[in-house]
Amino acid sequence: MDEGLTYASVESLARLLEISASRLAQALGIPERTLVRRKAAGRFSSEESEKLLRLALRFEEAVGLFQGDTTAAARWMATPAPALSGHSPLEYCRTEIGGREVESLIGRLEHGVFS
């Protein structure tokens, strides 16, 4: 049960977000050297996988916000947001609390509450 996500799943998420796997790892606080080791091993740790899964879930919600437009959602995820203290949703998803803030922001935007 402690097996993490495969490296291929991270590459897939990076493609959807229209960024490199390296940029994705950087945004989530996974060092470049660790990324290289995980690529060789084929899997991420449980903790790293939780960060990646949190981001994937927020991205899925952003795609819903943009009515299925993955390009617009990816752009939004990478753009600094005033409601997130000038950080991008991508960066904010580094922590559980940040991920919840992004989820809350998406909910507010879906309901027309601009912040």
Q: Compute the average pLDDT of residues 36-48.
A: 94
Q: Which two tokens stand for residue 85?
A: 């203290």
Q: With 90 as the cut, is the pLDDT of residue 28 above it? A: no
pLDDT of residue 96: 95
**Residues 92-115 pLDDT 10s:** 999 999 999 999 999 999 998 766
Mean pLDDT of the chain: 93
| Position 35 confidence tier, pLDDT thresholds 50, 70, 90 | very high
How many other CB atoms are found less than 10 A from the CB of residue 16?
17
Query: How far is it, in rounded angstroms, from Cα 110 to Cα 89?
Result: 15
